[in-house]
Amino acid sequence: MSATSNLMLSLGFSVLLLLHGVVASVDYGTALTKSLLYYEAQRSGKLPSNQRVQWRADSGLNDGSDAGIDLVGGYYDAGDNVKFGFTMAFTITMLSWSVVEFGTQLSGKNELSHALEAVKWGTDYLIKSHPQSDVLYGQVGDGDSDHDCWQRPEDMTTPRTTFKIDDQHPGSDLAGESSAALAAASIAFKKSDPRYSSQLLAHAKQLFEFARNHQGLYQSSIPAAAKFYSSSGFKDELLWAAAWLHRATGDKIYLDFLGSAGDTGGTRSMFSWDDKFLVLEGKVESAGTWAQYKSQAEQYICSCVQKAGSNNVKLTPGGLLWWQPWNGLQYVTTAMFVTAAYSDYLTAGKSSLHCQAGDVTPADLITFVRSQVDYILGSNPKSMSYMVGVGSNYPGKVHHRAASIVSIKKDKTPVTCKGGFDAWFNRDAPNPNVLEGAIVGGPDLSDSYSDSRSNFQQAEPATVSTAPFVGVLARIA
């Protein structure tokens, strides 16, 4: 594998031996199909003729009108009706990386076209959001007012306020992540649609320069995002974007940017929408800054593999890697993705991972990945699949406005802001619409899970959680 194709690895590993009982038979192929269906359920805008999730309908058709710009499209973030640009961009990066890394496997399962459609629904929106080189619209909708209501996106009455960053109001993290998303997508589309790939790359390059030349945290320019997705810093997004741009172009300018980084982040505890510092240049020879990237990444891998002594990542009694109570599975899915990718890189290099407590082979890594996937899909103490619609026992009261309210195609009676809570949120019954492919927040540290719409920490799915799982499922299906 070439140095260019190996340039970027973001390493946050969730790996584990099979510590629980007999693993139930899991249909990874079905889970893969449903993981991509989930993104059709999250669509905002005018739905296409080939829309497969039929309980959804057009929504947000006037988005951007307050600013005189067309911002129709994109994805709703989680169980609400807000379009948060920061997490949407990370979602698109991970969907694109799934195609780049595991496109052959996706094609073999007849899901490559659906994966590219999922990417394009997001990148079309990002292109709209970037009308000028130093302007990027980063949010549509207000989280507070949206969360005060329980409505379908098709008839929501909440404000659809737009928020942007520009040269006077910067957001290097938001611009950097958007650059990474578009650069990664340009690689995904390079063979099937070279013209579109070139368009994506042009926007990615502009956004990187915007992020680098006008530095600052995006929530300082978009305060409405701070309460929901506050960024801890932007240096990691600059490195992340540079890595993807080098992989997309081979241009030395991006390699030099990575190599001259004064802050490589130190050993990280996770890989997520807010933390991409675990960037590794994939050459065998490592010196200077590259050695720092490699060492930091491998220390983290070893902690997830439980080979780092006192620095190991926590495990639940049932064997799940566990970071925190709010949407803990998002960290597991990102970790599994990079574990699977890194396993393949090690195989290509005929190498193993050297940890403090012993070596780990590429085959061991994939075994660990399968154990985590199996836990999520039902091989856990509750025998519950945390991917909705997979298996016979999965969450029925998912914290999700569109899924929890009868489809507008079945009942066009408008659901009012507060009326939705009485009629649907507080309803003691499963959601009328099955949000297939959604990964809920997941169990707590004791492997417990409460299936309740009010339990948003555990019961709310998010686009950032399922995106890396697409690639993982493609790899092992």
Which positions are catalytic? 399
Three-state secondary structure of 277-340: CCEECCCCCCCCHHHHHHHHHHHHHHHHCCCCHHHCCEECCCCCEECCCCCCHHHHHHHHHHHH
Q: Which of 128, 138, 132 is nearest to 172 (CA)?
A: 138
Name the H helices within 189-263: 194-213, 218-221, 226-229, 235-249, 252-259
CA distances from 279 to 113, 248, 297 (A): 28, 16, 7
Residues facing 322 on adjacent strands:
314
Instruction: State the alpha helices, DSSP H only, in 324-411.
Output: 329-348, 362-376, 401-404
The tokens for 441 are 């927040």
Edge to edge, the sheet with strand 162-166 lists: 83-84, 135-140, 162-166
In angstroms, the CA 403 to CA 399 distance is: 8
Q: Are 339 and 298 in contact (CB under 8 A)?
A: no
Give 333's contacts (C-beta < 8 A, 6+ positions apart): 14, 376, 439, 465, 466, 467, 468, 469, 472
Phi-psi region of 265 (alpha: psi -120 to 50; beta: other; left: phi over 0): left
Say how many CA atoms lie within 13 Å of 116 toward its Cβ.
Answer: 19
User: SS3 of 235, please?
Assistant: helix
Q: What is the enclosing helix (H) or strand (E) of 144? A: helix 143-147
Answer whether 459's CB lies under 8 Å from 451's CB: yes
Q: Which of 431, 423, 348, 342 minimizes the C-alpha distance to 388?
A: 431
> 329-348 vs 463-476: helix axis angle to the nearest 10?
30
The one-letter code for the residue type at 441 is: G
Tokens of 356: 């403090």
C-alpha closest to that of 15 among 332, 348, 441: 332
